[in-house]
A and B are shown apart, each in its own frame.
Chain A
Amino acid sequence: MSDTHTPNGHIVVRDAVIELGDKKDRFRAVDRISFDIKAGQFVCLLGPSGCGKSTLLGALAGHIPVTGGSLSLGGRAIEGPSSERGLVFQQHTLFPWKRVIDNVAFGLKMKGVAKAERQARALELLRLVGLAGFEHKYPIQLSGGMQQRVEIARVLINQPQVLLMDEPFAALDAQTRWVMQRLLLDVWAKIGTTVVFVTHDIDEALFLADRVLVMSQRPGRIREDIAIPAARPRGDAWVTSDDFIHLKRHCLELMRDEHRRNFAASLGNAGDFAGAFI
């Protein structure tokens, strides 16, 4: 833990309802969800695809308004995007026309920080994510894993109070994903921001999180709130331990339940039948 530890990253979600779609197609994507996340905690939102994880994260980012209930960060209501909440998606959103270093320094440039200073800070962050030496490349010259590292560095330069990550490693191959998960924990250990990490991968959630919030099928609710007590730093010992296997079996059962429930619901609705298997 270092000086960049942010004490204001406390998230409070109270009875959040999010409805999507227009008029008659309107439906409830997130249904009266409540939870608290302590500052500095690493929380995974785990759930089947389509259950509203991205929607909830989008609301925390301030891109999607809630229909009911409230969201707050550090005691202040969330009302629109802000650089204190850094968002990382599955597909990178680096500016193709900017070199890696200028992509990372972008947030500081917008704050009016002088060029020399912001580039020095950007280099520091690139070193943190293991990309020193690549600062003058363009995003297209990097592999998918490297692009996500740049993305993380670019978000971190704003010293956000919370890092919101929406399946950031889902598009990477298994080995790269493995490397990136360890890298993320390593970075997080140094900066200590709150992290909300969306995934549908049980292993990923159990490896990364202090706490896993398992969501139910649409409309999304919190099905279970699981604490992961394993010590850090975590490594192969944790993912092969009995506790891990035990938790994994429990999560699998929860997820299977959700599928079964969805399947039963769709029997009455032939149109949605195929969707139940996805």
Chain B
Amino acid sequence: MSAAQLTLDQAPLEGVADVPVGDVSSAGKRRTRWPLGRILVRGLSLIAFVAFWQVAAQYRLHLGIVTFQNVPAPSEVVPALWNLLQSPKVLDHVLNSLYRVFGGFLGATLAGTILGLWIGRSRWAADLFLPPLEVLRPIPGVAWIPLAILMFPSSEMSMIFITFMGALFPILLNTIHGVGGIDPRLVSTARSLGASRTRLYLEVILPGALPSLVTGLSIGMGTSWFCLVTAEMIAGQYGIGYYTWESYNLQRYADIVVGMLLIGVFGMGSSVLVRKLGDLLTPWYQLKGGRDHE
């Protein structure tokens, strides 16, 4: 590259100039190649799955421990999906769910990051905050549903709280872990280069913990959705989880599957969004090979 040429020219002395190691920038973006054969197998697998589902549902199969008696066939689900997508209700359901998920998730991001950075850096803060957090940690977010309904006058707030609890611990623990993994030499270097205590958080602690924090965010996004759907089934009005459960109550079985599909699509979409944003925030980490996306 011309950049390498430049240094050679401008180096204050002639001699063997050391060159950069490999082309690291392309190493981070190593892609798995997909030969036609594998694409074919995977496509066939998907088709076989849908075909089995169609046959099992259509012939109301009994397989001993599981029955397809009331399971809607794909041929019923597709029109139901089409119907919902065309009705104005769909936007209401989706927007309500997104609002709750992102409300709880953003709250958890703020609380988890600030607490995590603080606890990770200060033994005093760890002693002060960790004991109650350790008690609450093993309780899954969905276990909070009854108490949350009692605690918050509006069911909207209680659902947001539940998604908050779902996302808080993955974010908090990953932030603490990230802070713990920061090379102490970087901290003392920053100090001797003149960084004050507050600058240290912004310049060293936060960016140092960021890759781990991003992992926490993407796990937290998953648990947020999980908690939300359950909460909506119990306490909701509108929302995709609510829609799914309501369809069951009204015996619109095809709509149950439509609801499930929407949950899957939006849940995955949110996780992908978080991961992409995380990658944008940690370009140096991507160069290193980055975290492995499953």
Q: A residues near B, CB below 8 A?
A: 61-63, 81-83, 85-87, 89, 91, 93, 95-98, 106-107, 109-111, 127-134, 137-146, 154-155, 158, 172, 175-176, 178-179, 182-183, 186-187
Residue of B nearest to A85 (CB): B192
Which A residues are in CB contact (< 8 Å) with B55? none
Tell whether, in the assembled complex, residue A178 and residue B189 are in contact, meaning their CB atoms are under 8 Å apart. no
User: Once bound together, how far apart are the Cα atoms of A146 and B189, in whole Å?
Assistant: 18
Which listed segment binds A: B203-211, B229-237, B238-246, B255-263? B203-211
Q: Contacting A143 at CB < 8 Å: which of B19, B189, B203?
A: B19
User: Once bound together, how far apart are the Cα atoms of A158 and B188, in whole Å?
Assistant: 16
Tell whether, in the assembled complex, residue B199 and residue A110 are in contact, meaning their CB atoms are under 8 Å apart. yes
Which B residues are in CB contact (< 8 Å) with A97? 207-208, 210, 282, 284-285
User: Once bound together, how far apart are the Cα atoms of A89 and B185, in whole Å?
Assistant: 10
Q: How far is the CB of A112 from chain B (nearest CB, A)?
A: 10
Tell whether, in the assembled complex, residue B284 and residue A96 are in contact, meaning their CB atoms are under 8 Å apart. yes
Tell whether, in the assembled complex, residue A140 and residue B287 are in contact, meaning their CB atoms are under 8 Å apart. yes
User: Once bound together, how far apart are the Cα atoms of A231 and B204, in whole Å?
Assistant: 43
User: Once bound together, how far apart are the Cα atoms of A82 and B191, in whole Å?
Assistant: 8
Known contacts A140-B288, A179-B15, A110 near B6 by CB under 8 Å: no
Q: Contacting A95 at CB < 8 Å: which of B15, B192, B203?
A: B203
- B249 sits at the interface (CB 8 A): no
Which B residues are in CB contact (< 8 Å) with A141? 20-21, 24-25, 287
User: Once bound together, how far apart are the Cα atoms of A172 and B21, in whole Å?
Assistant: 13
Tell whether, in the assembled complex, residue B7 and residue A133 are in contact, meaning their CB atoms are under 8 Å apart. yes
Q: Pull 28 A–B residue pairs with CB atoms less than 8 Å apart, ordered by A.
A: A62-B192, A81-B191, A83-B192, A85-B192, A97-B207, A97-B210, A106-B203, A107-B193, A110-B196, A130-B7, A130-B10, A130-B17, A133-B3, A133-B7, A134-B3, A138-B283, A140-B284, A140-B288, A141-B21, A141-B287, A142-B21, A143-B21, A172-B18, A175-B16, A183-B11, A183-B12, A186-B13, A187-B12
Tell whether, in the assembled complex, residue A146 and residue B20 are in contact, meaning their CB atoms are under 8 Å apart. yes
Count class of interface residues, chain B: 35 or more
Tell whether, in the assembled complex, residue A132 and residue B6 are in contact, meaning their CB atoms are under 8 Å apart. yes
Which A residues are in CB contact (< 8 Å) with B185? 89, 91, 93
- B92 sits at the interface (CB 8 A): no
Which A residues are in CB contact (< 8 Å) with B288? 96, 140
- B186 sits at the interface (CB 8 A): yes
Residue of A nearest to B15 (CB): A179
The B122-168 residues at the A interface (CB cut-off 8 A) are none
